[in-house]
Amino acid sequence: MNHNALRLSLSTHTKIIRDGKEMEVAIAELRQLLAVDGLIRLQEAEFQVLRGGQLTYTHFNLERTTNAVGKRYAVVPIVMPGRRLHDDTELLPVIDVERARVGICLEVQQRVPITVVAPRYFDHSLSHIKTRDQLQDVLLARYRGMFPGLTAEDILSRGCAISLIDLR
C-alpha cells in the first residue's frame, strides 16, 4: 500500500446554497450551526440512498479520514462536487446543510486495504456498496476528479478509511 498521504480536502471552508445563492462559508460556522464536530459529505445520489430510517451507517473515504470516535458528524449531500485542478488548486464542493443527518462516530479505521475490508462494514453501507468490488468502483468514481494525476491503480492502492456512524 502506498504510504505517501494524499492531501485532504480543504477543512476550513466549503460552499453552501443559502437563499437560492451559492456562497463560501467557514466550516467552523457550519459546525456551530449544526452543533457537530465535523461534516461527512456525500454525493447527492449517495445521500438519496441513505435511508431516513437507517440507524447505523458505514462511510468509506479514500485512504484516511479526520473523523474521530465519539465525535458528532452531520452527513450532508454534495449538490455540486468539488475537484482538484492539475495545479492542485481545489474547487470547493457545494453542500446542502438543510438536509443534514446527525450522528455519533462509533469506530474509525485508517488505510485499510480494500481487499481486506471486513464484511460487517458492508452491512451498514449504502445499498450500492455491498462488496469490495463495488467499494473499489465507488472510490474510483468519487476520487478520480479529486486526483486527476493518479491512475485507478494509484487511487486504489491507497486503501480506504472506514467510519461507523450511529444516526439515532
The answer as to whether 128 is a domain residue is: yes
Residue labelled with grid coordinates 455519533: 104
What residues have CB less than 8 Å from 119, skipping those under 6 apart? none
Is 134 inside any structural domain? yes
148 secondary structure, DSSP code: T
52 located within any domain: yes
pLDDT digits over 7-49, tens only? 545 468 899 988 888 999 999 999 999 999 999 999 898 999 8
7 belongs to a structural domain? no
Residue 5 lies in a domain: no
* Residue 1 domain-assigned (yes or no): no
Give residues with Cβ within 8 angstroms of 115, minimum separation 6.
Answer: 132
Which pTM value belongs to this model? 0.85
In a domain, 129, yes or no: yes
- As for how many domains the chain has, the answer is 1
59: containing domain: 13-166
Question: For residue 4, what pLDDT band results from cuts at 50, 70 and 90?
Answer: low
Residue 23: inside a domain: yes
pLDDT of residue 2: 46
